[in-house]
Amino acid sequence: MSAIQAAWPSGTECIAKYNFHGTAEQDLPFCKGDVLTIVAVTKDPNWYKAKNKVGREGIIPANYVQKREGVKAGTKLSLMPWFHGKITREQADTTTLERLLCPPETGLFLVRESTNYPGDYTLCVSCDGKVEHYRIMYHASKLSIDEEVYFENLMQLVEHYTSDADGLCTRLIKPKVMEGTVAAQDEFFRSGWALNMKDLKLLQTIGKGEFGDVMLGDYRGNKVAVKCIKNDATAQAFLAEASVMTQLRHSNLVQLLGVIVEEKGGLYIVTEYMAKGSLVDYLRSRGRSVLGGDCLLKFSLDVCEAMEYLEGNNFVHRDLAARNVLVSEDNVAKVSDFGLTKEASSTQDTGKLPVKWTAPEALREKKFSTKSDVWSFGILLWEIYSFGRVPYPRIPLKDVVPRVEKGYKMDAPDGCPPAVYEVMKNCWHLDAATRPSFLQLREQLEHIKTHELHL
């Protein structure tokens, strides 16, 4: 057990594998699925001192809990690890597929895009040493093999035939996982982030997006926010966001509580609940009469500290804006929406980027870095001090980039302290290398807080 002791320092998060009722007064009882934080190692390496979500501390058995780990960067998670996408006509011949579904176990299966019927799919199943092919027809937004039973998506179809052969040569028993992918459900379970749907109550819709709804939920008596993503293709895209969130822990980042992957294609990303909504709406609804300079500076520092943490861990957010910062019940601003967040080395399609918030080199050459996040932070500061106005007012969208590339910088918002405006302008150097780091930005903002608030 000493290896566990060495591996689990104070502050380590873990999730309970079993119920623990405790027998001694100093024990900390918990239920399977509870999240606990290690406070200290005891003299006996089989026991830890830990605290629960409400701050109660006590002794817990080490073998009743599992350490929570971040999903490893570069892991290609899939909700449909049995889906092999396009297979060329040559690969789709019987001999190649028989090699792919090898050794030929009855019930081994994969799904691929149809080569003969574009838009349809093919289910390939190994049965008694042979491979059977079933056309999955896509019609009126539904999928069917026999035109008797229809499904919303491939996951529902596979789940149905996993529990019942229903006319196929065999029920689907074992997925042939596409090379290089990992089943999302298995990985979230392995790393300690899988939650149980039975513990979650969905209460009311608090936001809507193209991907699905954001709902207020109750998870074991605590208010939570839940992104409910239904469509399998959309859900697949959100896996990357969830896996990034498992790697990030900071008091000014919206915290992931866990992930639920449903067999039938539903993905639920459960995060802490931020009662006061997005920062941009908060600024617009309160305005100058409610929010003083100290409050605006605090929000600026909250975001800067989160970004300094991302900078230190080599993550680039790529979509920093006041709409993607949320405000908690006790007025703490936290950065959210990690859908575009990636390790600093990766590139990305620029088609959907918000032009007014994105650095010129990122728009022009797809060069994303911490320094492009710094540019966006400057725009976010302008949003904060203008109480949620849209940047570049009175300039048509098509003219923004040409003007910015010639050196144009927005004027200071009304009432913005000159020292804060200087910080904004430093973020907007066209040469990315001359922009400050988030560490330097935090130091500058803290100096303003200490010495220059009267300005």
186 is catalytic: no
Strands 108-113 and 174-175: parallel
> Token pair of 391, please?
């940047």
Q: How far apart are CA 247 and CA 97, in angstroms?
A: 37
CB 328 within 8 A of CB 358: no
Residues contributing to the annotated binding site for ATP: 227
Beta strands in 170-255 (DSSP E): 174-175, 181-183, 200-209, 212-219, 222-229
From the candidates 34, 199, 232, 319, give the one annotated as an active-site residue: 319
Query: Rounded distance, CA 80 to CA 256, Å?
Result: 23
Q: What is the pTM of this model?
A: 0.84
- Per-residue tens of pLDDT for the chain, all 455 residues: 334 445 588 888 999 999 999 999 999 999 988 989 999 988 888 999 999 988 999 999 999 999 999 888 778 888 889 998 887 656 656 556 667 787 889 999 999 998 888 889 999 999 998 889 999 998 888 999 999 999 988 988 999 999 999 999 999 999 998 888 888 988 999 999 999 899 999 999 998 876 788 999 999 889 999 999 876 667 777 888 899 899 999 999 999 999 998 866 678 999 999 999 999 999 999 988 899 999 999 999 999 999 999 999 999 999 999 999 999 999 999 999 886 766 654 455 545 679 999 999 999 988 899 999 999 999 999 999 999 999 999 999 999 999 999 999 999 999 999 999 999 999 999 999 999 999 999 999 999 999 865 54
Residue numbers in the known binding site are 227
- Please report which helix (H) or strand (E) contains residue 439, including its range: helix 438-451
Rounded to whole angstroms, the Cα distance separating 113 from 87 reads: 7
Helix (H/G/I), strand (E/B), else coil: 157: helix
C-alpha 126/C-alpha 152 separation (Å) is: 25
DSSP string, 314-325: TEE-S--SGGGE
Paired sense of beta strands 315-316 and 267-272, if any: unpaired
DSSP track, 77-105: EES-TTB-----TTTTSHHHHHHHT-S--
Give the whole-angstrom CA distance, residue 182 versus residue 236.
12
- The span from the CA of 311 to the CA of 304, in Å, is 10
Please say whether the beta carbons of 48 and 40 come within 8 A.
yes
Helix (H) or strand (E) holding 395: none
Q: What is the DSSP letter of 394?
A: T
> For the stretch 400-419, what's the b/e string if a residue is b when 16 or more beta carbons lie within 10 angstroms of its beta carbon?
beeebeeeebbebbeebbee
156-214 pLDDT, tens digit each: 899 999 999 999 999 999 999 888 888 898 899 999 999 989 999 999 999 887 678 89
